Amino acid sequence: MAYRLCFYKRARRELDECCQTYGDNLRTELWNWLRDIATAADTGSEIGSVDIIDLLDEGLSQDASQWSQALKRWWNATPVEKIKATLVLLRKRCPPWQARFTVRWITVLGQFPCEIHAHYIVDHVNKQVILTLFDGLPGQT
């Protein structure tokens, strides 16, 4: 089963406004893309997405930067989340929390190409993908 999709309030509001303005075809395409992101997070096949920390700090290796961010979050986690995070670490051999982003080109109203960026956090502990920010949504200000 794919991870659950969650949203920061602003990201959800902007997605809903875009879908309301541009109709069902765009809504279907965007939600299919978001479900694909959740499925990829669940299976660990992050094809088509990039670790945000990699982009921000090229001086560190990908693994080191992911682990440092996960360690910071682990220290602030509840005792139950710490246990779950340790289990994720042992089972999946990856950081329990990963900040990532991906890009998708879509066609709006059948003729206007649009590049949309989705920034999100993969929370392996609670089995969810948290969409934090969209950039490039049609009509987005």
Q: How far apart are CA 11 and CA 37, in angstroms?
A: 15
CB of 141 closer than 8 Å to CB of 133? no
* 118 pLDDT more than 50: yes
How much of the chain exceeds pLDDT 70, in percent?
77
Q: What is the pLDDT of residue 58?
A: 47
- What's the pLDDT tens digit per position in 44-62? 776 666 666 555 554 445 4
- pLDDT above 90 as % of the chain: 28
Over residues 70-85, mean pLDDT:
77
Per-residue buried b or exposed e for 81-101, using 16+ beta carbons within 10 Å of the residue's own CB: beebbeebbeeeebbbbbbbb
Q: pLDDT band at 117, cuts 50/70/90?
A: very high
Per-residue pLDDT, 87: 74
At residue 62, what is the residue type? Q
Q: What is the pLDDT of residue 62?
A: 47
Our CA dihedral for 10, 104, 56, 52, rounded to 10 degrees, sits at 70
- The average pLDDT across 17-22 equals 90
Higher pLDDT pick, 62 / 126: 126
CB atoms within 10 A of CB 119: 17
Nearest partner of 95 among 109, 103, 105, 85, judged by Cα: 85
Q: What is the pTM of this model?
A: 0.75
